[in-house]
Structure 1
Amino acid sequence: MRDLRYFVAVAEELSFTRAAGRLFIAQPSLSKQIRHLETSLRVALFDRDHRTVALTSAGAALLPQARQIIEQWEAAQHAVAAATATQRRTLTVGFHTRIGRGLIPAVTARMGRDVPEWRLLFRQIAWGDPTVGLASGEVDVAVAWLPVPATGELAWKVVATEDRWVALSADHRLAVRTEIALAELADEPFIALPTSAGALREFWLGNDERARPACVVAEAETAEEAIEAVASGLGLVLLAAGNAEIYQRDDLVCRRVVGLAPSELAVIWRAGDDRRAVRTFIEACERCLCGPGTV
């Protein structure tokens, strides 16, 4: 299904560069997957040169079928999710980093009052999946940081906006500062999300606003792995202001970074999933984090 989604994106954009941006993945990864699909089908789907991309006759024949297959698969996922939810009445909530912010008890209380037949199950998803488990159907909703892939398959609402901070080992030379300018981090080693995280990786490296890309010395699959790497002195990592408090420990410090746009925490769900439990969860997140006195 991933290969077909990638094929449709390239076919509609007729540009690997634009399609990669639309899918929030690196262009080499996209090209590799398209080659994989072509090898599997034993046919060329695109005519390529340095300037243009065009569908071959085989690619043109595949395009409407691929769209139909994707639509049918998404309908099947929704049907299975609805049937399973009816039986178990469990709403699985995905997250990349610890949620905190008083959200879990507030949402649990609201769900218990408005949809008492449902229970919440929280599941951490590795950073390598930028859809936070929603694309695979592993979770029903997610509370996670933007950006997420803008493929039209996901919908979201921002529920909190927080400054980006940086985590450093307690003995780092910049640990004595109360704030750190982004330019001062230009030559510092950074711990990155996996390359499969796409635009989310770039955002948490600060590459969206750096003069040149961050120096990456290691990758981490989870926030816990990244924090351990920072504490050991291997490198630095950006994190949201609220997470600076959540992941606080004696062997590292967190400082606000000046010169970076803030991060956005969102509640995310599959577009078209209008189950009452999903709507209630979304509303509960909004009430908890977007009420009076919140950022």
Structure 2
Amino acid sequence: MDVDTRLLRYFAAVAEEGSLTRAAERLFVSQPALTKQIKQLETQLGVPLFTRSRAGMALTEPGQALVARVPALLADWDRALRETKSTAGRAARVLRVGFVASAANETTQQIIAMFARRRPGWRVDMRQAAWSNPTAGLADGDVDAALLRLPFPGQDTLRVEVLFTEPRWVALPTGHPLAMRDQIPFRDLWEEPFVAAPPETGRWREYWLATDEREGHPVRIGAVTDQPDDWLSAIANGYGIALTPESSARFYARPGITYRPVSGVSASQVGIAWGPADDTNPIVQDFVRCCLDSEPPRPGGAVA
């Protein structure tokens, strides 16, 4: 019998969390989709793996037997997969770097140029990910490193170095009454509908809604989007507003949208992330060094 490793990952997450809701948030999937996958695994194995109750998900005896084996099995598979992809990249002299939205802003080109000088003959393959994948493929082994907005789900399991910090602004429809202000207190935005990332992104979504900085005030969701173009359209069409890095005013300028500074909300950080297994990978570490040696952008877009 062949079992999809994805089903085993879902099973392990539910077993560790003891809750479908928490496991779904951790896996960036919806709860109904996760429930369906667990039932599929139980059907394939022909045994119940959990008993379900209001208190959560408890492992059955067959579930306990399986959960004891799964971590080592998945770790071996992940190691084999990473080594296979990494070997292919080394053979082609390609470093795969994931990113979300604008990556490291204007410094991205500077970093790539520095890496080219450090590693002649090597090429950096930049791979953009949707917001539903806040690690830009790093957690799945699809990339060797990633330029990411902090914080992101799973950050504690990876190596992360902060590159620079920039303020969070707000993107509003140009006709919005607040768009005429030079600066907007975050408190004045609490009653506004927000354009949000998908619920399964968990911590990522909560950060860009600034849920921890609302003094308990509930968030109104006007639209949910997963791509920059859809995000921009939702704002321009008046479905909501959104917190965003200050650099979005340069990277995502378009008619119908106005960007304004926001006071009373914390700044955003950009970091370089990689897996612990690549601590001794000289190619990845050279790229990390180029990131750390790069000059952070000045406010307004110029590189220092």
For the aligned pair, the TM-score class normalised by the smaller chain equals 0.7 to 0.9
Distance 1:277 1:213 in 2: 45
Distance 1:292 1:162 in 2: 9
Which of 292, 297, 303 is equivalent to 1:286? 292
Which of 141, 149, 163 is equivalent to 2:145? 141
- Paired residue for 1:179? 183
Which of 144, 157, 161 is equivalent to 1:157? 161
Tell me: CA distance 1:157–1:8, structure 2 relative to 1, closer, same or farther (3 Å). Answer: same
Identity among equivalent pairs (%):
38
Choose 135-144 or 260-269, whichever is displaced more.
135-144
Q: Structure 1-normalised TM-score?
A: 0.87
Tell me: CA distance 1:82–1:48, structure 2 relative to 1, closer, same or farther (3 Å). Answer: same
Distance 2:165 2:32 in 1: 32
Distance 2:187 2:6 in 1: 38
Tell me: CA distance 1:292–1:101, structure 2 relative to 1, closer, same or farther (3 Å). Answer: closer
Q: Structure 2-normalised TM-score?
A: 0.85
Q: Find out whether 1:41 has 2:40 as its counterpart.
A: no
Which of 45, 66, 73 is equivalent to 1:69? 73
Which of 104, 112, 118 is equivalent to 2:116? 112
Would the aligned equivalents of 1:24 and 1:199 in 2 still touch at CA under 8 Å?
A: no
Q: Could you say what secondary structure the match of 1:116 adopts?
A: coil
Distance 1:33 1:258 in 2: 44
Deviation at 1:208, TM superposition (A): 2.9
Q: Find out whether 1:230 has 2:235 as its counterpart.
A: yes
- What code does the residue aligned with 2:281 have? R
Q: Could you say what secondary structure the match of 1:175 adopts?
A: helix
Which of 82, 88, 91 is equivalent to 2:92? 88
Structure 2 unaligned blocks of 5 or more = none
Distance 2:167 2:39 in 1: 40
Deviation at 1:31, TM superposition (A): 4.8
Would the aligned equivalents of 1:118 and 1:277 in 2 still touch at CA under 8 Å?
A: no
Distance 2:218 2:36 in 1: 23
Distance 2:38 2:212 in 1: 27
Deviation at 1:236, TM superposition (A): 1.0
Would the aligned equivalents of 2:194 and 2:221 in 1 still touch at CA under 8 Å?
A: yes
Deviation at 1:234, TM superposition (A): 2.6
Deviation at 1:60, TM superposition (A): 1.0
Choose 243-252 or 280-289, whichever is displaced more.
243-252
Tell me: CA distance 1:18–1:249, structure 2 relative to 1, closer, same or farther (3 Å). Answer: closer
Deviation at 1:225, TM superposition (A): 2.1
Distance 2:296 2:242 in 1: 27
**Aligned Cα RMSD in Å?**
2.9
Tell me: CA distance 1:30–1:258, structure 2 relative to 1, closer, same or farther (3 Å). Answer: farther
Q: Find out whether 1:263 has 2:268 as its counterpart.
A: yes
Which of 244, 248, 260 is equivalent to 1:243? 248
How many residue pairs end up in the alignment? 295
Q: Find out whether 1:217 has 2:241 as its counterpart.
A: no
Distance 1:196 1:289 in 2: 34
Tell me: CA distance 1:4–1:149, structure 2 relative to 1, closer, same or farther (3 Å). Answer: farther
